[in-house]
Chains A and B, each alone.
Chain A
Amino acid sequence: MGMAKFEPVLMEAVGAAEGHTLESYRSRGGYAALERLLAESQPAEVVEMVKSSGLRGRGGAGFMTGVKWGFLPKDHPGPIYFCVNADESEPGTFNNRFLMEDDPHQVLEGTIISCYATRATTAYIYLRYEYPRSLERLQAAIDEAYAAGYLGGDIKGSGFSLDIYLHRGAAAYICGEETGLIESIEGKRAWPRIKPPFPAIEGVFRKPTVVNNVETVACVAQIARRGVDWFRSIGVPADPENPRDPGSYGPKLYCLSGHVEKPGCYEAPLGITLRELIDDYGGGVWKGRRAKAAIPGGISMGLATEAEFDIPLDFKGPGSVGCMGLGTAAVVVLDETVSIVDYLHNSCRFFAHESCGQCTPCREGTSWSLRILERIRAGKGRLKDLEILLEMGSTMGMMPGSTICGLADGAAWPIKNAITKFRGEFEDYIKRTNPEGWMVTEAVPALEIVGAH
C-alpha cells in the first residue's frame, strides 16, 4: 500500500546544493522568523507559541517543551543557560547527525529563538565526539551567524545578546542524560544528579538551565516560520476523551536501520505505523525475508514482534505493546534469522559499558546481566538465569525507584521485554546448548568477560 510521501520540512535541505550554508538557509526562508520574533514578540509570547504548538521533546522522553521552559523562575537575575543536547548516542539513532550536517543553520535558528524565549544568554551545544563532520558544519555555521549579526551582542538591534559555544564530548552515552550533560560541561565526571532540583531551577553552574534535543530546537525554528496551526495540522491530535493526553503533533525524523532494503532517515508525520515505515519508506525487509521483531525507538525501548507492527509510532503506540515508549523513534529491524539471545547480549553489553557506575542496582545489574548472557552464549546457561534476569529487569531503574537516572530503565526494558515476548526461544536455546546443565539451580561461577570495556 503506497502512501503520499510527506514533503520534508526538517529535512528540506537534504539534496539542496550547499544546503548547510547561510546563503542556502536564507534562500529557504531561514532567519526571517527569528528577525520577526525579535522585533515583534516578547519572550513570554514565544514560550506561549511553543506551548500552544504541543511540541514534545524529540530526545526520548517526549516532555512538553513549552511546559519545560515554563519551569524557569520568573524574574531570575540570570545568567540563564541553554544546552542543545547533541550527544546522540542511542543505538540506531542518527537523525540529529543529519540535521547538524545538512542544515546546521536550522539548528542554530531554533536555538537562538529558544534562547530568546527562555532569556538564556549563553548556549552550549554538547556535541558527541564521534560526529566530526557535525563539528565542522556547526562551527562554520556559528561563524557565519556571528558575521551576519544573528549571534553576539544586541542581535539585530533587539537588545537580546547570545553566545553559542560547541562543547565536545568524549564518547560517553550518559552525557546524553540532561544532568550528566550538565556535569560534563562543568568539567566533572558525568554522573547524573538527583532531581529535584530540576535543571530549570538549578542547572549548569548552579543557574537555571534548559536542555533540549537538536530535533526539538529544529522544530522550534519551523514552528516560528510556519506557525502553530501548521504544526498542529500534522501528527496525531490529543484524545478528546482524555484531558491528560497532550497528543503527538508535528513531523518526526524516523531512523530506519537493520534488516531492511533501504536504511535511512525519513521524515513523516508522527503516527505512521511501524509497518508503514518499514514497507513504504524502507523498501521492506531485506533479502525477501520476514521480520522477526523490531526496535521501535532506540535500543532502550525493547522489541515489538512482527505481529505488533501495526502500532502507530507516536508517543502512545509503542507503550501499548510493552515497549518503553517512542524513545528516539529509531527503528531497527531484526529478520527471522536473528537469535534474540544475540540481540539481548548486544543490548546488555552496551549498557554494561555505558553505565556510569554511580548507582549500585545499575552498575551491578548491567554488569551481571552481561555476564549471564555471556555464560548463556557460551553454552552454560540455565533456565534459572531467566528468572534472575527478569528480577534484575524489574528492579533496576527510576521507575522501580532504585536509581538516579533512566539509563537503568533503558537497560532493564530490553531484558524483561525480550524474555517475556520470546521466552520459548530463550528456553530452547538454553536447553539445546547446555543439555547437561540447563536445569541446575545452584549458583554457578561467572565467566571472565572479554571486551566489554
Chain B
Amino acid sequence: MNSRAFTHLTPEMVAEIEAFAPRYPSRQAVTLPALHVVYERLRHVPFGAVAEIAELLGLAPAEVQDTLSFYQFFPQEKPCGRVRAFVCRSISCSLRGGEELLAGLCDAAGIEPGGTTADGGLTIEPAECLGGCDHAPCLLAAGRLHEKLDPAEAGAVLETLRQAAGPEPSVAG
C-alpha cells in the first residue's frame, strides 16, 4: 500500500473509507460511503477531496464528481453550518405549518432557505418528506428528528444545538 500525501483525506479518514471496501466486490461501490466519511468530517466535499477519493478508489475524478453532484446533498464550495437543519416541506408537514416553520426559522436566523449564518453556526434548508408525518411539522438536525414544532420551540431547539456544536474547531490537518 502506497503512503499517499493527501491534503484533504487524513489517515483516519482513509482507514474509515477502506473499512467499507470488503463489503462490496467493486471499489466504485465505496464512493457513497467515502463521500459520507469526508462530509461528516469536513462538512463539505471540496474538489480536491473528490480527486483524492478517486485516487484512493481507482476511479477517474469525474466519476466521483458525477455521483456526488447527483445527490444535491454534499456541499462543495464551503462547509455547511456546524448545525445543518432540514425542515420538511412535503405534503403532510405543509398541511400542518411546515412552510411557516421554515420561513419563521430563516427569518429569525437572518438567512434565506438554504443559507448559512455569517458565523458559520447554522444552515437551514428545506427537505422533502422526512418520515415524521405523525408529528408534523418536523425538522432534522444533529442526527435527530425533532417533531411537532412551532417556530418558537424550533428556534429554541436550534439555539441549543448551536451552543452544543461550539465555536469553529481548528481545521483538521
A residues lining the B interface (CB < 8 Å): 79, 88-94, 96-97, 122, 128-133, 163, 165, 167-173, 184-190, 205, 255-259, 263-265, 295, 299, 330, 332, 334, 338, 342-343, 346-347, 349-350, 353-354, 356, 451, 453
Contacts and interface: CB of A to CB of B under 8 A. Distances in A.
Interface of B: 23-26, 28-33, 35-36, 63, 66-67, 70-74, 86, 89-92, 94-96, 113-114, 126-136, 140, 143-145
Contact of B133 (A129, A133, A173, A332): A332
A97 B131 contact: yes
Contacts of A165: 23
A334 B92 CA distance: 9
Given A170-B71, A258-B96, A451-B113, A186 B29 contact: yes
Contacts of B143: 132
- Nearest first, the 7 A-B pairs at minimum CB distance are A187-B31, A257-B133, A187-B28, A91-B90, A170-B71, A257-B92, A91-B129
Contact of A93 (B131, B140, B145): B131
Contacts of A259: 95-96
Interface centre among B25, B30, B144 (most CB of A within 10 A): B25
B32 A172 contact: no
Contacts of B130: 130
Contacts of A295: 91
Nearest to A357: B70
A133 B91 contact: no
Looking at chain A's contact residues, is the secondary structure mostly helix, strand, loop, or mixed?
A: mixed
A354 B129 contact: no
Looking at chain B's contact residues, is the secondary structure mostly helix, strand, loop, or mixed?
A: mixed
B114 A451 contact: yes
A263 B91 CA distance: 14
A171 B71 contact: yes
Contacts of A128: 131
Nearest to A334: B95
A131 B91 contact: no
A258 B92 contact: yes
A436 B134 CA distance: 42
A218 to B, nearest CB: 16
A130 B130 CA distance: 6
B36 A332 contact: no
Contacts of B134: 94, 255-257, 263-265
B73 to A, nearest CB: 4
